[in-house]
Each structure stands twice: as structure tokens, then as C-alpha cells.
Amino acid sequence: MMGVVGVLWGVFTPVLCFSASRLDNRVDLQKQISKILADAALKNVSIGIQVHSLKTDESVFSYHGTDLLKPASNMKLVTTLAALKYLGPQYRFKTKLYTDGRIKNGMLQGNLYVKGFGDPLLVSEQLWYLVNDVKRLGFREVQGDLILDDSFFDTIRTVRDGDSSTQNGKDRAYDAPLGALSVNFNTTAIYVYPGAKVGKRAVVVVDPDNTYVKVINRSKTLRNSAAMTLEVSREVGKTHKAPNDTIVVTGGIPLDHTGKRFYRNISQPLFYAATLFRRFLKEQGLIVRGRDQFKVVPSSAKELWVYESRPLREVVGDLNKISNNFVAEQILKTMAAELKQPPGSTDKGLEILQEFLKEVGVQDRVQLVNGSGLSSENLMSAAQLVEVLKYGYRHFGLFPEYMSSMGIVGVDGTVGSRLHQTVAQGRVRAKTGSLFGVSALSGYLSTLDNETLAFSMIMNDPQDRTELLQSTQDKILLELCELK
């Protein structure tokens, strides 16, 4: 009998020792993170932290985890997971071409309609492919008009922000207008290079070249090594017969500078899209004789061609790694149109997110203003975001795409420059969130013991000390990664 007891004791003793060791490590972790948060510099910072083991399904650390705070772009973790669930990782955004006429003798005898269905990544390269496909349909001339239809979304183009103080300028690319038919994120790129010699105008190049964007160049070339003083702004587009936006370039660029790129949004997406469609059609030898119009495709029109985007699983990767507000809001409105009938709207999209959060298990109050986080009025807790992350982890059909959409600490995305050559490099997949006075970081990490944790850290600081907040987050990440 004693022999049996001895055998059993020999079997169970290591388990008991491991359990005690794990408990000690958890206690040490609590002490270390509490010490980090005791920094006097954080006295007036509102902080919510929640860390959960996905291996043992237990809380690892919590600090004001249920406090409602401003999550900034961590909202995108909710929007993208909901989109993967409801639209599916294989979902593709469509752009459809129709006509009310017929093709005869190389001519389209009628109008050419283009209808957008929310594609957030319809950029110049994709537009070229689309037009190249159209070239094979058998016509080189459109005798009628070019008619654009963006009725899949509502007519509200601005991102619902809730607080204009979060933006430094309405022409910034991160605050581009929305639209079911949008090209190049509804932005334009402006490249500025030094002129031939000091005192000469700088060289300004608009990409893609188009007739919608005009340029007023008041910039100058400065002496070598002089301070860069370039300013690039976009004046509100006009509404007369030929609408356009004007890029105004002022200041100076040193003669020995290699050049600088600026992104600015445009104010009228449909006019911008029409210009670019005409440009790419012309480059492929396709001429539209009529004028530009903007109205709904008639039910009698025949479908000519359907262009499909890359699958959603790739789109969310582009979105989360670089934190693209435009893509997030386009996806929100697309969900609204697909699940609750067109036109897609922010209100319908937010209803879907609320329904999704209930399914995830979030019962406490949240305050949602938009799907990108571009608002100081969005409110969520770290614990609620961890519930979202737990849901993503538990659903294999969503998890690989969801996790891979996040930046890899020390490697790429918005966390690519953080914690290089530390234990955290390559071990953490995370989404950042930044607004004035807000720094958030949420995602997944693998400890040295290969335990997967879901974590969320939301920090709201009235003094907007971004470096302090990110440094605090990084210290905590290191402690979590070294957990055994």
C-alpha cells in the first residue's frame, strides 16, 4: 500500500510544485506592474488594464479594467472582428458596370454606368485593372454619358467624429470623406521637389495626375541645408460647372533635399472618381463622348462587368496594421448596407456593432460614435475589449485573419518601431490607438512559457504625454512576455 502511495505522490508532486510556482509568478507580476503604475508622473492619468490567460481562462492582471475610457483606434478591433464574422473573411467588395444601350461596331450606343459598393481599396492600380477588363468587352467609344452611382451608402460623407478638437485640419488624409464609390481613399498625393536653383519655384507633382485637382504653387527653393518650411493645404472644392479642389503649396524646400510627399483629402468624391475613371479609360483607348452624371442605375440597365476587390481578410490587415480610418468607416457602412439593406449608414453600422458586442458577452454600457475610433466620445473599457479579443480567439474561422491583421511589435505596423531586440519583439500582436490625450494598446501576446494572453491597456492623459504612456505600456508588455 505504501508503495502505491509513493508512486502516486511521485506523480502528483511536480504538478503541485508547478502550480505553486505559477502562483508565485502571478504574484510577482502583480507587484511589478503595480510598481510601474505607481510612477508619480501617472498620477493624473486615467488607466484601464485587463490581461486574461487564453490558456487557463483566468484573469492575470486587472487595474480599473471596467472603467469606461476613450479607446481611440482600438475601436477598429471591434469593427474588424464584426466584419469578419458577419461579412466573412472571403467577402469581396464589388464595383459594377452597366449600360442602358448595346454594343455595336465597336461602340457602346448608350450610357456607361459605374456603381460602387463600398470598396475601400479601389486605388489607381485596381482602377487600371478594372478598365483593362472593360477594354475586352468589345467597344472603344461610349456615345452616351459616364454616370456614377454611390447609392449603396447614404449621403453623409463625413466621419462622425463627435469632437472637432481631435482633428488638426479638415484636409488631412486621415479624415477623408466617405462614399460607396471612392477612389484612392478619397485622397491625393502631392510630391514637392526643389527647383533647379535657389530662388526658383519648387516642383510640385500631383499623383495620380488628374484634372480635378488644381495646384497653386507659391513655394521656393532654399539654399542647401536650410530648414524645410513647406506647407501644403487643400482649399474646399468649388460647386460651379467644373468642380475641383485646389492644392496650395507655400514655404520652401532646400536645394539639396530629396523631396517630400504629402497626402490631402479631396472634398467631392464623385467628381474626383469621374475624373479618374475618364483618365484611365482614355489611357486604354476608350472615349466617353457624353458628360458626367451622378444618379442611380435604372433597373432596366444591363450588367456589363463586375470588378471584385481582394478578400476582406486582406483588407482588415491593411486596415489594422496602419490604422486606416477611411477603410474602417467604409467597412462599417458596407456591413450596414449588406445586413440592414441599402443605403448603408453609420447609425445602422453602430446598431450592428452593439448587437455584436452583446453576442460577445459585453453586457455593460458602451458608447459608440463611429467605427474607426476617430472620436473622443467613443467609450469602452479594457475589460470589454478583452472580451472581444477572447471571442476572436475562440472562433477559429475568424482568429487567424483577425490576429494577423494586427501589427507585430518590433516588426511592422504601427508597433513596428517599439521594443526592438527585446523579448517582446515578434511575440506581441497589437493594435494601437492614438488621439489627443489617448494612447491605447490591445491584442495578443505569447509569454516565454508559450502562454497566450489577451490584453488591453487604455490610457487617457489630459496632458497628452504620448511618450510617457507608450513607455509605460512597453514596460508592462515586457513583464507580461517574461511571465512563466
Catalytic residue numbers?
73, 76, 323
Cα–Cα distance for residue pair 369/378, rounded to 1 Å:
5
Cα–Cα distance for residue pair 347/173, rounded to 1 Å:
23
Letter for the amino acid at 110? G
Cα–Cα distance for residue pair 397/389, rounded to 1 Å:
14
Look at residue 351 and give its three-state secondary structure.
helix
User: How is residue 243 annotated by DSSP?
Assistant: -
Length of the chain: 484
Minimal CA–CA distance to 67: which of 333, 363, 361, 379? 379
User: Exposure string (b/e) for 330-346, b if CB count within 10 Å is 16 or more?
Assistant: bbbbbbbbbbeebbbbb
Please compute, for residue 357, the number of CA atoms within 13 A of its CA located in the half-sphere on the CB side: 23
Look at residue 253 and give its three-state secondary structure.
strand
DSSP 383-413: HHHHHHHHHHHH-TTTHHHHHHTSEETTTSG
How do beta strands 146-149 and 203-207 pair? unpaired
Instruction: Rounding to the nearest 10 degrees, give the CA dihedral for residues 297, 299, 304, 307.
Output: 60
